[in-house]
Amino acid sequence: MAAEPEILDELRRLRARVPQLTGVLAASTDGLVLAHDTPGVEPEGVAALTATALGVAVRMADVTGRGELRELLMRGVDGYVATYAAGRTAVLTLLAQDRVNVGRLHLEGRRAGARIGELVDAEAAARGLGRVTPAKATKPAPEAGSTAPRTRTTRVPRATGANTPTTTES
């Protein structure tokens, strides 16, 4: 892949911005490693497990009506594994220490995922391999002037009297 050096540069910049990262990996949604900086961790195994977890997470998001998957966060005793969408055909997986600032992890992970997605999608387009994910292919675009149907009902504020106790009051 011609974009591999640029992806690896982005991974290294990401590790410099978030010092608590212990590993970073870009992979295809099929589980093939695109680039990695994962000392002490087998990148092929992480990429394969990422693809498996991604499949379950996409299904969970679909079944629960949460829309297209954007990211996945797993926390273990010794740290975090975060996976972010990186374009249409790739994902970015970050391994972080338990003491990482999760907000910073998300901020930098989303930015790096977007940049890596641009690189991977541009490479795929140049090769003529750009493909549309099934989730995007099955959702028709709304016609001009119409609104897409909502899948959730709109919440209406409860009307409570001034002396009516709410559930948070005793």
- pLDDT tens per residue, range 152-167: 545 555 555 555 555 5
Q: Is the Cα torsion angle 53, 56, 59, 61 positive or negative in sign?
A: negative
Please give the pLDDT value at position 163. Answer: 56
pLDDT averaged over the chain?
82
Q: Which residue has the tokens 């992979």?
A: 27
At 2-17, the pLDDT tens digits run: 678 999 999 999 999 9
Q: Which long-range contacts (CB under 8 A, 24 or more apart) does 40-43 make?
A: 41/95
At 93-125, the pLDDT tens digits run: 999 999 999 999 999 999 999 999 999 998 888
Q: Report if pTM > 0.85.
A: no
Please give the pLDDT value at position 86. Answer: 93
Task: Please list the alpha-helical segments (H only) found in the chain.
Answer: 4-17, 43-63, 102-127, 134-137
Q: Would you call 164 helix, strand, or coil by DSSP?
A: coil
- Identify the architecture of domain 4-132 in CATH: 2-Layer Sandwich (3.30)
- pLDDT exceeds cutoff 50 at 133: no
Q: Which of 80-84, 124-128, 144-148, 156-160 has the highest mean pLDDT?
A: 80-84
Helix or strand holding residue 165 (H, E): none
Q: How many helices (H) and strands (E) are present in the chain, helices listed first?
A: 4, 5
